[in-house]
Amino acid sequence: MPLVHALWSPGRGLLLWAERDQAPTGTSSRSVLVALSHPFAVSSAELTALHPGKPTSVTLLLPSRANRPLASAEATAGGKRRGSGPSLRPWSVPALVVDASELEDLDDSASYGSSVTYLRAVARLATDLVRRGRVLPTLVRRGDVAEARWRPVLQGVDFVAFDALVAAMPPAGRAEQVAPSTGASPRALVTDALHTLVDAAVRDRLARAEPPVDLRAGRGAAGVWLAALQGGAPRVELPLDELGVLADAIAKWDEVADTDVVDGRACFRLAEVGTLRRAAEDDPDDQTGDGTKWQLQFLLRATADPSLLLSAGQIWSGEATGLVRDPKGLFVAELGRAALVEPMLAPALRRTRPAEYDLTVEEAEQFLTSGANRLVEAGFEVQLPATWDGRRRLALRLSVRSTPSEQVVARNRVGRDELATFRWSIAVGDDEIGEEELARLVAAKTSLVRLRGRWISVDADRLRAGLEYLRRDPHRRPTAAELLELVHLTRETPLPVTDVRADGWVGDVLAERVHRELRPVELPPSFRATLRPYQQRGVAWLAFMATLGLGACLADDMGLGKTVQTLALEALERADGECRPTLVLCPMSLVGMWQREAANFAPDLRVLAHHGGARAHGDALAEQVAAADLVVTTYATAARDADELAEVTWRRLVLDEAHAIKNADTVTAKAVRRFPAGHRLALTGTPVENRLADLWSVLDLLNPGLLGSRAGFRQRFAVPIERRGDTATAAELRRLTQPYLLRRVKTDPAIVPELPEKIELRQEYRLTREQGTLYRAIVDEMMTKIENSQGIKRRGHILAAITKLKQVCNHPAHLLHDGSPLGRRSGKVSRLEELLAEMLAAGDRVLCFTQYAEFGHLLVPHLADRLGAEVGFLHGGLAKGARDALVARFQAGDGPRILLLSLKAGGSGLTLTAASQVLHLDRWWNPAVENQATDRAFRIGQGRTVQVRKFVCPGTIEDHIDTLIAKKRALAGMVVGEGDSWLTELSTDTLRGVLTLGAEAIDD
């Protein structure tokens, strides 16, 4: 995955360039002043696939060593290196000139460096300054050439923000070579960027203003300058003498532009100046406000005496001269700045001496509801009528009575009539409006109405629709999903639902009490597992959601028993008479796990594994499904057999590792949505892997429409949270999703005491087709040699075969030693990536043991690129100092969160209690050696549960040896204790059975 960098290039603007994280061989010796092509920069063609832009090239001064540039990961890696340190050398890289707006819409197929985030912050400051009107027009002269430009005005906190950006510029942001051995000044770069971006943003705002703003009506030199401020061409064509007079006049604004000394600021007062009939006195409850006239008055508050508010009349008459320097100029400048913020003011400024502006009712309503807020945010003072109530809004109020939650679970069935009774009403603030009063508001046909002595804003069309909504079939009972869509504002209503008063199960869901207060259900005797208290609560919650027909996401951390809770729910329902089958979708590596867990904990459940080339179809499949309680298949198989699986009405659809459908546009996700089921359940430890769109995809599949459309979800939640870090919106999203998502983590106080100190898990995966082909070729070749040899030579061939088969299970590149890229060629590596991503998302630190240092060297750059995280590697080639430094950084928490270790170098003598996850990638068949490696984390001083995963591919040598070790557990310490040598004594037939590849080993 390429890493994209950004920089600001004066004269060209925003540039993007990208590199791959790899270490090419050094180039030939050269002078440091000659810029050669960057050996692993991404080409212009690849860049344009990520972002639209104009191809160019740029010379960058980059840290280099041995005649090659360092990759970003190398330049920032900790630890000491042998030899001299890196030096700055020039490199030519392909780049794109892009619009700054492109920084807000980044592509998932690339990673982005800190320089991109940094320039996004610069662009946001420019946008914010323009939005608040913190800009002034100016004239920029370079010799005989003059241009009309908009410039930023930096005062107060904006100065602080500017200085912070200058100090925070990352090295990549100032890497462009502007002289043989120097870079650009951060202050100069930020200044140039801010001025350029502000000018472009103001021109764009003027072009899109409604009503249109025209600055080109003036004559003479000022008219030419004004036209250049608005048009696309900024050049000002004037004789030199006129240009000089114009520049001197405009320079007065620049003198006070970047200072905290301001003589005053504009104030805008909205007033009711008269009515055709005295509504406020004669009829305080008048709802139409007929005849009210609105006027916007312009004033100036002096800084020297804040208690003094100067009217426009005082300013134009000269009364304010002693309090404000050039009051008329300041007043006009303030009004002009305000017109950029609120274009409604532009017509008033065309007058010779603007003092006030009469508004229509529609304009008054617009000013009250939006314009006033924009002016206040831009630093202006606004005074509104005391009779205006901007907080009160017309809204729907919903009262709901429903069955208590405990009765829902106890009955395991809820009838339609007892689901919920509800009543709609319309209210303004705390005041409920009767139907007759509402009808009078509708008849007024205006957006600004007086209600009970206060002005409020209403949408006449929505108000009429709200009245019709109340009169429409008030006794219709919605489903549970429909009801919660209404409550959570994702089901469309003519007016927003702002007040919900509920009891029973609806009240419990809204108050988030269900997760805490549901009592454990009584499981049937056929279920053989003893659930921990938090698992019992999980089953009760699942049963509650299933009874209501609401989709649920069980998002417990890895190792907390999502599978066993699901099996308990199935056993509970079968005991209650449920006969429809449940469809379980999971990765291929988990099919066998579902079969084994069901056999261990719920042996009465009839399980059908539907996968592989020999799986049933047509009538045969229908018969098998009818005879099963649990049908387990893979996502890939489900997509291929979608037509057949969609013909079955399933009791439940279970999505294990549900992030597999995080992209709603994939063939698999579309196929899964077709499967009819009375209940849908997602199991995942990472409901959000990369973006909030992942969460939408999962929850929308569980409860279609619950979170609104994908576009609506993006606008309402994803953009504010992901781009602006909006905590209030994030809290709203948590409240919205809480009823459908149950997440417990290993660090929860209620869970930690219940967990064992160490959890050991068998982590299954499947070989790719390339691995399977190589595996069979090795077995055929080596068995021929073994059959035709004896004694020491035979033992040598067996050990060589075992080594090669272990290597091919790791990755084809490990077997072939050809340096080829890892890609998606290994089932083990792909599963490792998934697990590590989930562990990183959970905040865990991980130890990964391999007996092959070569495999570790292949994994480090690959995992760092895939996961976007630093990966440490402790192996025998490390000097003691480097080894100690790496261990110290890992333990201290400021080093890599993933630590690869060769089993010989890292399997003993270390304390690595910062890790709570241990992965054994390729098995060392001596249990004592594995346990000794695990004890690096599972030892005195470890305050958390340690989860240990041992990678096993069913149907391969890994699976067969694992079975033999289990059968000979009592002898493992003695017989198997000498590593792989005990295998050499097996008979040829037994050995062939151990080595031969099973059909279940390859992912279909």
Say what the pLDDT of residue 477 is: 58
Using a pLDDT cut of 70, give the percent of the chain over it. 74
Predicted confidence (pLDDT) at residue 720 exceeds the cutoff of 60 = yes
Q: Which domains does the chain have, with CATH numbers?
A: 3-130+150-183 (no CATH), 264-383 (no CATH), 394-510 (no CATH), 524-754 (3.40.50.10810), 761-1001 (3.40.50.300)
How buried is 80 (Cβ within 10 angstroms: 0-12 exposed, 13-18 middle, 19+ buried)? exposed
- Please check the confidence at residue 349 and state whether its pLDDT lies above 90: no
Residues 6+ apart with CB under 8 A from 331: 266, 298, 300, 312, 315
pLDDT of residue 919: 95
When pLDDT is cut at 50, 70 and 90, the band that residue 602 belongs to is: very high
> Which residues partner with 480 through β-bridges?
none
- At 25 the pLDDT is 42
Q: How many angstroms separate the CA atoms of 903 and 886, rounded? A: 16
pLDDT digits (tens, 9 = 90+) for 424-469: 666 666 667 766 777 777 776 777 777 777 787 776 677 777 677 6
* Percent of the chain residues topping a pLDDT of 90: 21
Residue with tokens 């592989």: 612
Instruction: Supply the pTM of this predicted model.
Output: 0.49
The answer to whether the CB of 494 falls within 8 A of the CB of 430 is no
Name the least confident of 3-17, 707-721, 824-838.
Answer: 707-721
Closest CA to 827 of 669, 948, 1001, 955: 1001
Task: Please check the confidence at residue 116 and state whether its pLDDT lies above 80.
Answer: yes
Is the peptide bond between 186 and the residue preceding it cis, with omega within 30 degrees of 0?
no
CA angle 198, 202, 204 (to 5 degrees): 115
Beta bridge mates, 455 = 388, 450
Residue 655 corresponds to which tokens in the numbers above?
Answer: 């999505």
Read off the pLDDT band of 352 (50, 70, 90): confident
φ, ψ at 726 (rounded to 5°): -70, 105
Burial class (CB in 10 A: 0-12, 13-18, 19+), 365: buried
Q: ∠94-95-100 over CA atoms, to 5°?
A: 175
Q: Which residue has the higher pLDDT, 996 or 242?
A: 242
Give the residue among 765, 457, 729 at the shortest CA–CA distance from 634. Answer: 765
Q: How confident is the model at residue 527 (pLDDT cuts 50, 70, 90)?
A: very high
| pLDDT attached to residue 948 | 92
- Weakest mean pLDDT among 169-173, 598-602, 604-608, 719-723: 719-723
Residue 830: pLDDT band with limits 50, 70, 90: very high
Mean pLDDT to the nearest integer, 155-168: 76
CA nearest neighbour of 770 among 831, 827, 819, 830: 827
Is 80 exceeded by the pLDDT of residue 957? yes
Question: What is the pLDDT, as a whole number, of residue 568?
Answer: 95
Confidence of residue 262 (pLDDT cuts 50, 70, 90): low
Confidence of residue 557 (pLDDT cuts 50, 70, 90): confident
Mean pLDDT (whole number) for 292-305: 83
pLDDT class for 423, splitting at 50, 70, 90?
Answer: low
Q: What is the pLDDT of residues 856-891, one digit of tens each?
A: 999 999 999 999 999 999 988 887 778 878 988 998
Which residue has better confidence, 819 or 211?
819
How far apart are the C-alpha atoms of 119 and 104, rounded to whole Å?
Answer: 11
As a whole number, mean pLDDT of residues 955-975 equals 58
Q: What is the mean pLDDT of residues 914-934?
A: 80
- Chain centroid to CA 269: how far? 43
Q: Is the pLDDT of residue 333 over 60?
A: yes
For residues 236-261, average pLDDT: 73
pLDDT score, position 709: 83
When comparing pLDDT for 923 and 594, which is higher?
594
Report the alpha-carbon angle 507-513-517, nearest 5. Answer: 120
305, two tokens: 């005496």
pLDDT in tens, 37-68: 888 888 888 888 777 888 899 988 888 876 77
Question: How far from 422 is each of 429, 474, 500, 606, CA to CA, in Å?
Answer: 20, 9, 10, 42
Lowest mean pLDDT among 77-81, 145-149, 251-255, 399-403: 77-81
Average pLDDT of the segment spanning 936-955: 83
The tens digit of pLDDT for each residue in 618-649 reads 999 999 999 999 999 999 999 999 999 999 99
Mean pLDDT of 529-540: 88
Model confidence at 132: pLDDT above 80: yes
What's the confidence (pLDDT) of residue 545? 85
Mean pLDDT, residues 810-835: 91
The amino acid present at 186, given as its one-letter code, is P
Q: Which two three-digit tokens encode residue 831?
A: 């599963």
Residue 854: what pLDDT?
Answer: 92
Q: Give the residue, 928 or 933, on which the prediction is more confident.
A: 933
Note the pLDDT tens digit of each residue in 564-586.
999 999 999 999 888 899 999 99
Q: What is the residue-averaged pLDDT of the chain?
A: 78
Determine the pLDDT at residue 474.
53
Q: Are strands 309-311 and 356-359 parallel, antiparallel or unpaired?
A: unpaired
User: Is pLDDT above 90 for 495?
Assistant: no
Helix axis angle, 460-471 relative to 435-444, nearest 10°?
150
- C-alpha 313: how far from its chain's center? 55
pLDDT computed for residue 441 by the predictor: 72
Which of residues 598 and 158 earns the better pLDDT score?
598
- Position 835 scores a pLDDT of 93
Calpha distance 679→683 (Å, rounded): 13
In 3D space, the residue among 964, 955, 962 whose CA is nearest the CA of residue 995 turns out to be 955
| Residue 956: DSSP 8-state | S
What is the C-alpha separation between 311 and 768, in angstroms, rounded?
Answer: 80
Strand partners, 302: 264
| Cα→Cα distances 858→854, 890, 900, 950, Å | 6, 21, 11, 20
- Whether residue 643 contacts residue 676, with contact meaning beta carbons closer than 8 Å, is answered with no
- What letters, b where the CB count within 10 A reaches 16 and e where it falls short, cover 766-794? bbbebbbebbeebbeebbeebeeeeeeeb
Q: Is 81 exposed, middle or buried (0-12, 13-18, 19+ CB in 10 A)?
A: exposed
CA dihedral 617, 620, 624, 627 (to 10 degrees): 150
Q: Among 269-278, 505-514, 936-945, which is the least confidently predicted range?
A: 505-514
Out of 73-87, 320-334, 711-725, 891-905, pick the least confident: 73-87
3 state DSSP class of 154: coil
CA 281 to CA 283: how far, in whole Å?
6
